[in-house]
Chain A
Amino acid sequence: MTSEHPILETRDLTIRFGGHVAVDHVSCTFQRGTLTAIVGPNGAGKTTYFNLISGQLKATSGQVFLNGADITRIPVPERTDRGIGRAFQLTNLFPSLTVRENVRLVAQAKAGKGFDMVSVAESHVELIERAEHVLAEVRLIDVADQVVAVLPHGDQRKLEVAMMIALGPQVLMFDEPTAGMSVDEVPVILDLIKTLKQDMDRTILLVEHKMDVIRSLADRIIVLHNGALVADGEPAEVIAMPIVQEAYLGKAPEAA
Chain B
Amino acid sequence: MLTRLLSGDKPRSRVLTLLLLVIVISLAFAPFLFPGTKSLETAARICIFIALVASYDLLLGYAGIVSFAHTMFFGIGAYGTALAQSVTGPSFVSILWGTAAGAVVAAIFALAIGLFSLRVKAIFFAMVTLAVASAFAVLVSQMSWLTGGEDGLNYRIPRELTPAFKLIKAKVFDVRIDGKLLAYYLVFFASACLFLVMLRIVNSPFGRTLQAVRDNAFRAEAIGYRVVWYRTTATVLSAVIAALAGSLLAIWLRYTGPATTLSMEIMIDILLMVVIGGMGTLYGAVLGATIFILAQMYLQELMGVASNATSFIPFVSDLIAADRWLLWLGVLFILSVYFFPTGIVGRLRASRG
Contacts and interface: CB of A to CB of B under 8 A. Distances in A.
Interface stretch (A12-20, A110-118, A132-140): A110-118
B212 A94 contact: yes
Interface string B210-250: 01100110111111111100100100010000000000000
A5 B203 CA distance: 43
A71 interface: no
Contacts of B223: 80, 105-106, 109, 163, 167
Interface residues of B, number: 28
Interface residues of A, number: 35
A124 interface: yes
A164 to B, nearest CB: 9
B8 interface: yes
Interface string B292-321: 000000000000000000000000000000
A167 B208 CA distance: 17
A86 B219 CA distance: 9
Contacts of B206: 114-117
Given A77-B225, A163-B223, A96 B215 contact: yes
Contact of A76 (B7, B200, B221, B230): B221
B230 A117 contact: no
Interface string B59-89: 0000000000000000000000000000000
A211 B209 CA distance: 39
A231 B208 CA distance: 45
Interface in B236-292: 237
Contact of A124 (B205, B211, B233): B205
Interface string B194-209: 0000001101111111
A60 interface: no
A114 B230 contact: yes
A127 B208 CA distance: 13
Given A96-B211, A105-B208, A113-B205, A118 B200 contact: yes
A144 interface: no
Contacts of B230: 114
A108 B215 contact: no
B219 A116 contact: no
A108 B219 contact: no
A188 interface: no
A80 B211 contact: no
B204 A120 contact: yes
Contacts of A80: 221-224
Given A97-B211, A120-B8, A92 B218 contact: yes
Contacts of B237: 117
Nearest to A109: B224
11 contacts: A54-B222, A76-B222, A80-B222, A92-B216, A94-B211, A94-B212, A104-B208, A108-B208, A116-B204, A117-B206, A119-B204
Interface of B: 7-8, 200-201, 203-209, 211-212, 215-216, 218-227, 230, 233, 237
Given A115-B206, A116-B204, A167-B223, 19 more contacts: A77-B221, A77-B222, A77-B225, A88-B222, A92-B219, A93-B216, A94-B215, A94-B220, A97-B211, A97-B212, A104-B208, A105-B220, A110-B224, A116-B205, A117-B204, A121-B203, A121-B205, A124-B205, A167-B224
Interface of A: 54, 56, 75-77, 80-81, 86, 88, 92-97, 101, 104-106, 108-110, 113-122, 124, 163, 167
